[in-house]
Amino acid sequence: MIRDPKDLKRYNASERANHWVVGISFILLALSGLAFFHPAFFPLTQLFGGPVWARILHPYIGVLMALAFLVIFLRFSHLNRITAADKAWLAKAKNMVDGNDHDMPEQGKYNGGQKVMFWALAMCMLLMALSGVAIWRAWFGFDITLVRLGAVVHAAAGAVMIALIMVHVYAAIWVKGTIRAMWYGTVTRAWARQHHRGWYRQMTGK
């Protein structure tokens, strides 16, 4: 596919691969986790070779996701510090959601919403990893109160995380020209100027 050589590089190949390791493991975890959470989702265990396999595999996929997420976190946390401009953006987020993004404050590589998403997901990931270890009976045997607390936290943080990822995926679908950044790494200059003008200036010097 021939692309405009003037397109802006947003993610390198390693960052993209890292993202998709997290993404794929998240999808597998959400499908198997929901199956254990509510009987309505139990048939999803068939995707994993049956319910016993789903139970065996789920925590190992969780370890993979936690490690891959940690790498993403270390790579991107410095770009996600929340600034005054982000707060101003967040205060106007309703306009953005309503479809009017003409007078949104100028944003760098990430806008306030993306940064809030980043920290919320990081917090969920931490809770998921800790509570997941607490309830992983194949390897660990913690005090029963801790296991019960772990079960509640794992379910709650899991539900929040699935909701956040739905928003994350939807935002990528909704804002046209975004998904290609995670497929082959580049975005158009027009996309960058409209959504991340600060980053656009930084990249183009304009």
Active site residues: 168
Nearer to other proteins, 81 or 148 (CB): 148
Task: Give the residue among 149, 145, 146, 153 at the shortest CA–CA distance from 129.
Answer: 153
Whole-angstrom Cα distance, residue 36 to residue 31?
9
Binding mask 83-122 for other proteins (x = CB under 8 A): --------------xxx-x---------------------
Q: Which of 198, 26, 35, 41 is nearest to 121 (CA)?
A: 26
Is residue 36 close enough to count as binding other proteins by CB under 8 A?
Answer: yes
Number of shown-chain residues binding other proteins (CB under 8 A)? 48
Kindly state whether residue 188 participates in binding other proteins, applying the rule CB under 8 A: yes
HEC per residue, 3-60: CCCCCEECCCHHHHHHHHHHHHHHHHHHHHHHHHHCHHHHHHHHHHCCHHHHHHHHHH
51 in contact with other proteins (CB under 8 A): yes
Alpha-carbon distance 28 to 44, whole Å? 10
Give the residue from 163, 170, 182 showing the smallest Cα distance to 30: 163
Of the candidate residues 66, 68, 162, 181, the single one contacting other proteins (CB under 8 A): 162
* Of 6, 84, 94, 205, the one binding other proteins by CB under 8 A: 6
Instruction: List residues near other proteins by CB under 8 A.
Output: 6, 35-40, 42, 45, 51-52, 54-56, 97-99, 101, 135, 137-138, 144-145, 147-149, 151-152, 155-156, 159, 162-163, 166-167, 170, 173-177, 188-191, 193-194, 206
